[in-house]
Amino acid sequence: MSLQILINGIATGSIYALIATGFALIFNVLKFSNFSHGATMTASAFIAYFAIAGKGLGLVPTLLIAAAAGALIALVGEFVGFRRILLNHSSATYFFVSSITLGTLYEGLVTIKAGSNFFNFPRFFSTPTISMGEQVISTSDVVMFCISMVSLLVLAFIIQKTRLGRAMRAISFDRDTAQLMGINSTRIIQLTFVISGALAGIAGVFLGIKYTLYPTLGSLVVKGFIASVIGGLGSLTGAVIGALLLGVVETVLLRLLGSGYSTIATFAIMLVFLLLRPQGIAGSNVQEKA
Amino acid sequence: MALLEVKHIYKSFGGVKAIQDFSIEANAGEIHGIIGPNGAGKTTIFNTISGVYPAEQGQVFLDGKDITKLEQYKITRLGMGRTFQNIRLFSGLTVEENVMCAFDPQSRYSVVGGLLPTPNRRKEEKRGRELCAKYLEAVGMQDYIQERPENLSYGMQRRVEIARALMCEPKILLLDEPAAGLNPTEVAELTELIGRISQQFGFGILLIEHRLELVMSISHMIHVQNFGQTIAVGTPEQVQHDPQVIEAYLGKEE
C-alpha cells in the first residue's frame, strides 16, 4: 500500500510540477506572478474537451489541442494584458491587477460556455489499472507522470541548450542589457508565454482527468504556486522538487487524515516550511535560473 | 558620409540638459575619445546613440541608415556594440553563454529551427562557438570559457564584456569607461587591447574614459564635454592646450 501512495503522490506532484514550472517561467523573465495561469489551464482544457467531445480521439491529440490552445491564450494575454506595462517599465502592481483581471475574464468566458456543470473526459485507457505484484496503480497516473516528465525534460533542454533558452536566461538577469546585445526581448517574452501556456494546457487536461472538468478548476493553480515558492521562486528545478514533495505529502496526509483535514494539514506544513526556510529549497543562489 | 554620424542631438531629464547639441563623425579604424567631468552627459550620449532612449532633437546615422528612433536591439543588429560603465554581464550564465547571447541576432535559423536539433542549427551553433572562441581569444580570455563572470576579477570581466560586444559584429563599438576600477598594469594592458582590436577588426570606436593617459595615448580625436555641452574638439595635442578644457578640469586661474 505504501508504494501505491508514493506513486500516487508522485503522479499528482508531476502535474503540480507542470503548473509550477509554467508559473516560474514567467516569474523568471518578468519578475511577476502570472495569476491568469490557472484560468488559462481551465480554458485550454475546456477547449480541448469540446474539440474532442464525441469524436473518440485519444489522449495525445487532446493534449496537443490543449497545449496549442493554452499557448494561444497566453500569447493573446501577453499582448492584451502585459505588453504595454512591460514597455513602460511599470511597477509589479500593474502586472498583478492585469493578470488577475485576465484570469477572471477567462474564467467568466468558460462559465458562460460550460455553466457550472462538471464534465468528464472520456476514458482514455482501456485498462484503468496496472498490477505490479501486490500493488495496483492507475494507468492514468503512470501515463500522466511519464508525459509530465517528458515535457519537463523538453523544457530543460530548451532552457539549457538552445539559443532561445540562452536568450530567456539573459533576459531574466537583465532585460535592458540583453536588448543592447541585439536580443529582441519582446519576441523572447512572447515565446516564454507560449511555452508557459502550452504547459498550462497540458496541466489543465491532467487536472480534468484527475478531478473532472469544471470552470473553477484553475483554482488548483495555488498548488503550483505553493510548489514554486517552496522550491524557491524563479528556480525551475526547485519548482519541480517542490511540486513532487507537495504531491507526496498531500497524498500521504489524505490517506492518514481523510480529505477534510488533509488540506488544512498540507497548508499548515507548507507554512511552517516557509517560516523555517523562506528562500525555498533552491535558496537564493540558484544555478539554473531560467 | 561617415560610418557613424551624430548630428546635433539633444536630451534632457526634467530640467537637466544632459546633452546639448552634440555632434560627432566616426569612421572605421578611428578611435574617438569623449572626456569630461562627472555629470557631463557622456553616458547619456552613448545611451542616446545606442537607443536606450531616443534623442529629443537631432539625428543619428549608422552606415547611412537613420537609427535615431529605432529600438535598441535593431540598432545593435545594424552594427553597434557597447560595454557598460558598471559591468553588466549576465551573472548566472557562463562566460561562453554571455558572449553567445550576442550571437543571437547573427544566427540565421528560424525560431522553430532553434528548438530542433536540425543540421542547420548545429552548423550555426558551431559557427557561433567558433566566433565566440575567436573573440575570447582576441581579448585573452580563452581559458575561462566555462567560468562564471562573478568568479573573475574586475579586469577580466571587462574583457569578457568587450568580447560580448565584439560578438555583435559591430561597425561602431562604444566603450563606456573600460578602465574604471582597473589598476595601472591592467590599464596598460587594456590600452594595448583596445588599440589591437581596433586594428584587427577595423571598426570605429567611441571611448568614454576618465583615465587621461589611456584616452590621450590611443585616440585620434577627442571631444571634451562639460555640463552637457561640447567645449572642445580636436586631437589630443590640441585639447590638452585648450584654455576652456584646462578650466573645466583644473578650475579657472585667478
- Which chain A residues are closer than 8 Å to B114 by Cβ? 162-164
- Which chain A residues are closer than 8 Å to B72 by Cβ? 176, 179-180
Angle between helices A2-30 and A163-173 (to 10 degrees): 70
Report how far residue A22's alpha carbon sits from residue A239's, in angstroms, rounded to the nearest whole number: 10
- The contact set of B with A (CB < 8 A) is 50, 52, 71-73, 76-77, 82, 84, 88, 90-93, 97-98, 100-107, 111, 114-115, 125, 164, 167-168
* CB atoms A174 and B88 under 8 Å: yes
In our burial notation (b when 16+ CB lie closer than 10 A, e otherwise), range A151-187 reads: bbeebbebbeebbbbbbbbbbbbbbebbbbbbbbbbe
> How far B168 CA sits from the closest chain A CA (Å)?
7
- Which chain B residues are closer than 8 Å to A183 by Cβ? 73, 101, 104-105
Grid cell digits, residue A29 = 523573465
Our CA angle for A145, A151, A157, nearest 5°, is: 135
Q: Are residues A125 and A139 in contact, defined by beta-carbon separation less than 8 angstroms?
A: yes
Report how far residue B107's alpha carbon sits from residue B102's, in angstroms, rounded to the nearest whole number: 10
β-strand partners of B62: B4, B65
Our CA angle for B220, B51, A91, nearest 5°, is: 140
Q: Which of A170, A182, A184 sits opposite B90 (nearest CB)?
A: A170
Which tens digits make up the pLDDT trace of A62-112?
999 999 999 999 999 999 999 988 888 888 889 989 999 999 999 999 999
A285 in reach of chain B (CB within 8 A): no
Grid cell digits, residue B194 = 583596445
Which residue does chain A place closest to B161, by CA atoms? A181
Q: Are residues B128 and B107 in contact, defined by beta-carbon separation less than 8 angstroms?
A: yes
Q: Are strands A135-138 and A129-132 parallel, antiparallel or unpaired?
A: antiparallel
Q: Select from A163, A179, A187 the residue whose CB has the most chain B CBs within 10 Å, as the one to mutate to test that interface.
A: A163
Q: Are residues B200 and B180 in contact, defined by beta-carbon separation less than 8 angstroms?
A: no
Kindly list the domain boundaries of chain A, sorted by start residue.
Answer: 2-121+135-221
What value does the mean pLDDT take over residues A146-153?
Answer: 94
- Which chain A residues are closer than 8 Å to B106 by Cβ? 182
Q: Which of B84, B93, B168 sits opposite A182 (nearest CB)?
A: B168
Report how far residue B175's alpha carbon sits from residue B210's, in angstroms, rounded to the nearest whole number: 12
C-alpha to C-alpha distances, B126 to A166, A191, A208, A281, B129, nearest whole angstrom:
15, 24, 44, 36, 5
Flag whether pLDDT at A270 surpasses 90: no
Q: Are strands B172-176 and B204-208 parallel, antiparallel or unpaired?
A: parallel
> How far B105 CA sits from the closest chain A CA (Å)?
6
Flag whether pLDDT at A12 surpasses 50: yes
Residue B80, pLDDT score: 94
Q: Are residues A255 and A51 in contact, defined by beta-carbon separation less than 8 angstroms?
A: no
- Which chain A residues are closer than 8 Å to B111 by Cβ? 164, 187, 191
* B11 vs A267 pLDDT, higher one: B11
Dihedral over alpha carbons B216, B219, B220, B226 (to 10 degrees): -70
Query: DSSP string of B144-196?
Result: GTTS-GGGS-HHHHHHHHHHHHHHT--SEEEEESTTTT--HHHHHHHHHHHHH
- Listed in sequence order, the residues at least 6 apart from B59 whose beta carbon sits closer than 8 Å to its beta carbon are B5, B6, B7, B8, B9, B66, B68
Instruction: Show the domains of chain B with their CATH numbers.
Output: 1-79+171-254 (3.40.50.300), 91-169 (no CATH)
Q: Are residues B42 and B227 in contact, defined by beta-carbon separation less than 8 angstroms?
A: no
Grid cell digits, residue A186 = 519582446
Which residue does chain B place closest to A176, by CA atoms? B52
Grid cell digits, residue B116 = 530542433
Report how far residue A13's alpha carbon sits from residue A266's, in angstroms, rounded to the nearest whole number: 13
Q: Are residues B12 and B229 in contact, defined by beta-carbon separation less than 8 angstroms?
A: no
Q: Which of B97, B98, B104 sits opposite A183 (nearest CB)?
A: B104
Q: Which of B71, B92, B164 sits opposite A169 (nearest CB)?
A: B92
Which tens digits make up the pLDDT trace of A178-234?
999 999 999 999 999 999 999 999 999 999 999 999 998 988 888 888 888 888 877
β-strand partners of B10: B57
- Listed in sequence order, the residues at least 6 apart from A79 whose beta carbon sits closer than 8 Å to its beta carbon are none
Residue B188, pLDDT score: 92
Grid cell digits, residue A80 = 492584451
* CB atoms A182 and B93 under 8 Å: no
- Which chain B residues are closer than 8 Å to A172 by Cβ? 92
DSSP 8-state symbol, A120: -
Flag whether pLDDT at A290 surpasses 60: no
Which residue does chain A place closest to B102, by CA atoms? A181
Which residue does chain B place closest to A157, by CA atoms? B115
Residue A288, pLDDT score: 39
- pLDDT by position in tens, chain B (length 254): 899 999 999 999 988 899 999 999 999 999 999 998 888 899 999 999 999 999 999 999 999 999 999 999 999 999 999 999 999 999 889 999 999 999 877 666 566 666 666 777 788 888 889 999 999 999 999 999 999 999 999 999 999 999 999 999 999 999 999 998 899 999 999 999 999 999 999 999 999 998 888 999 999 999 999 989 999 999 999 998 888 888 877 676 55
Report how far residue B172's alpha carbon sits from residue B203's, in angstroms, rounded to the nearest whole number: 6
Q: Are strands B221-226 and B31-35 parallel, antiparallel or unpaired?
A: parallel
- Listed in sequence order, the residues at least 6 apart from A14 whose beta carbon sits closer than 8 Å to its beta carbon are A144, A145, A148, A149, A152, A243, A244, A247
Flag whether pLDDT at A286 surpasses 50: no
Query: DSSP string of B93-150?
Result: S-HHHHHHHTTGGG--S-HHHHHTT-HHHHHHHHHHHHHHHHHHHHTT-GGGTTS-GG
Residue A1, pLDDT score: 56
Longest dimension (CA), chain A: 61
Grid cell digits, residue B96 = 561562453
Question: Which amino acid is present at B204?
Answer: G
β-strand partners of B137: none
Grid cell digits, residue B159 = 574583457
Report how far residue B123's alpha carbon sits from residue B7's, in angstroms, rounded to the nearest whole number: 41
- Which chain B residues are closer than 8 Å to A165 by Cβ? none
Flag whether pLDDT at A289 surpasses 50: no
- Listed in sequence order, the residues at least 6 apart from B115 whose beta carbon sits closer than 8 Å to its beta carbon are A158, A162, A164
Flag whether pLDDT at A11 surpasses 80: yes
Q: Are residues A286 and A51 in contact, defined by beta-carbon separation less than 8 angstroms?
A: no
